[in-house]
Amino acid sequence: MEYLVQHIESLIFTADTPISFEEISNCLTEAFGLKFPNEEIEGAIEKLQQRYAQDEFAIEVVEIAGGYQFLTKGSFHQTVGVYLQQTMRRRLSGAALETLAIIAYKQPVSKGDLERIRGVSCDYSVQKLLEKELVSIVGRSEGPGRPLLYGTSQKFMDYFGLKNIDDLPKPKDFKDPGNQIGEMAPIEEEISEISIEEVEAIERAERAEDFED
């Protein structure tokens, strides 16, 4: 059983996205040239989950999005979140990050809603987020013209280690003037501190980088 646990461990570790039970079974069958009973594979996965559930490990095996994936345990999310935010800032412009934050907290949201909040065109930012598969089209509004609605994608959930959108950090109470330093500011408040000229300059610079590439 232990050798099977280790091989399954290697598969889950190697997979970029949650690996399904069927994928695990198929990989084992092809690697060993024989079909393992489902019960044996299930037992190995359960043993692996129990092992990583121990306090000595900072990660755990989680069943998510129809498969299994190694994720950081909740008690380490704050530390890992700092790293992820720094990494994301390097990969996305400030304008794209603001747009992503609005979509995450206001979804489903139309491009018109995004532009009303930000005060500038969001075409380029939305396109970049779609290309990076951090957001997706989730439907159409019932309003005039039936505009497309955007929401966060499964890749967004996987990237930030979220099981569902309710796991997002809660913004502070907008009406409370006594919020402590360090809490998340309302999206509209943060955006209002950045001028339209600054946002457009960021997007022009990002377009120039893409053209050079």
Give the pLDDT confidence score for residue 174 in this predicted structure.
31
pLDDT per position as a tens digit, 13-67? 999 889 999 999 999 999 999 999 999 999 999 999 999 999 999 999 999 888 9
pTM: predicted TM-score of the whole model, two decimal places: 0.47
CA dihedral 72, 73, 75, 81 (to 10 degrees): 20
Integer CA distances (angstroms), 99 to 64, 128, 211, in order: 26, 10, 22
Query: Does the pLDDT of residue 189 top 90, yes or no?
Result: no
Tokens 């396109």 sit at which residue?
Answer: 127
Domains, the chain, in order of start with CATH, read 2-72 (1.10.10.10), 92-212 (1.10.10.10)
Tokens 């990076």 sit at which residue?
Answer: 132
Q: Where are the beta strands (DSSP E) in 11-104?
A: 59-64, 67-72
Query: Does the pLDDT of residue 80 top 80, yes or no?
Result: yes
Structure tokens belonging to residue 38: 């489902």
